[in-house]
Structure 1
Amino acid sequence: MKSLLLTFAVLLFSLNQPALAQTASANPQYSYFTLTPDITTNYITQGKKLGYLRLQVDLMVADPDYLPLVEHHAPLIRDAVIQIIGEQPESKIKSLAGREAIRQLCLDRVNDLLIAETNQKLLTELLFTKYLYQ
């Protein structure tokens, strides 16, 4: 009787092994890539003064295998972020809601560019980890 129970337990354990492996591989292993150096650019202001923005951009990918592709396309990503920032008005740069809208716009545009280059969506998230304006 004990040997029958032991055999049944081993059989159940071996049947559940593939399910455990699939569950582990279905969970993404997020990795981050930081654009270096920080981006420093100017934006549209009211009047004659010049507005500056310094930001650090971290890119989150769901698979660590994507990091070399993201690193290879870092100049393209940097250019897209600088172009978007340069088009924004001062009121949007300085508000929290505007900052979030800019971040989302950057994520969407960068993902579109990366899809055109690599035929796959690489970024899960684009984060502004430093955001200083003057």
Structure 2
Amino acid sequence: MAEDEIQPEGGGKNKKKLIIIIAVVAVVLLVNVVAMFFIVQAMKGDEKAAVAAAEAAKQETPANAKPHYVSLDPPFVVNFEDQSLVRFLQVTVEVMTRDPAMVAEIEHHMPRIRNSLVLLFSSQNYQTLSTREGKIQIRKQALTEVQSILKERTGKPGVEAIYFTSFVMQ
């Protein structure tokens, strides 16, 4: 009879532990879902801010102002994996601004700009970059990266366009 009394108590403790574990897991999942919601909302706001910043840059400088081109030398060379093959990308990038004061800002923030672009280029997919649409898409992403850095540091997006003057994949 003593054994019969011990088993229900042990089973009750296990049920309580199981309920507590399930409750903790549910709370953690709920917190993650709420956090992801706010992160996605913030990312949407960043995209809208980048578009608004580009529009503001166009309005601040006259459309007929002389363009200034800044070469991001040396060319970017990154590697990435494609179906267990190591691929290389070498791309020469130039940025265009109509604000002469922005040329110095671009050169001043060059290490941060180059770092962001290296990370962007190395995270790409070979098949995507093989297409014209893929190259256009990465050019848009690179423009957004550079504009966000300059906007953060100077208050203006500063760059109107990015051009790939050389694009070699191997």
Residue 51 (structure 1) aligned with residue 70 (structure 2): no
1:109 aligned residue = 145
Deviation of 1:34 after TM superposition, in Å, equals: 0.2
Residue 62 (structure 1) aligned with residue 93 (structure 2): no
Report the Cα distance in structure 2 between the residues aligned to 1:103 and 1:49, rounded to whole angstroms.
24
Q: Which has the larger helix fraction?
A: 2
Percent of aligned pairs with the same residue? Answer: 26
Runs of 4+ in 1 over 6 A off after TM superposition: none
- Alignment TM-score, normalising by the size of structure 2: 0.61
Superposed CA deviations along residues 52-100 of structure 1, whole A, max 9, x for unmatched, are 0001000100122211111111111111111111111111121111011
Greater gyration radius: 2
- Alignment TM-score, normalising by the size of structure 1: 0.77
1:29 alignment partner, SS class = coil
Structure 2 residue ranges without an equivalent (≥5): 1-60
Report the Cα distance in structure 2 between the residues aligned to 1:109 and 1:44, rounded to whole angstroms.
23
Q: CA RMSD for the aligned pairs?
A: 1.3
Report the Cα distance in structure 1 between the residues aligned to 2:140 and 2:132, rounded to whole angstroms.
12
How many residues end up aligned between the 2 structures?
109
Alpha carbons 1:44, 1:87 under 8 Å: kept: no
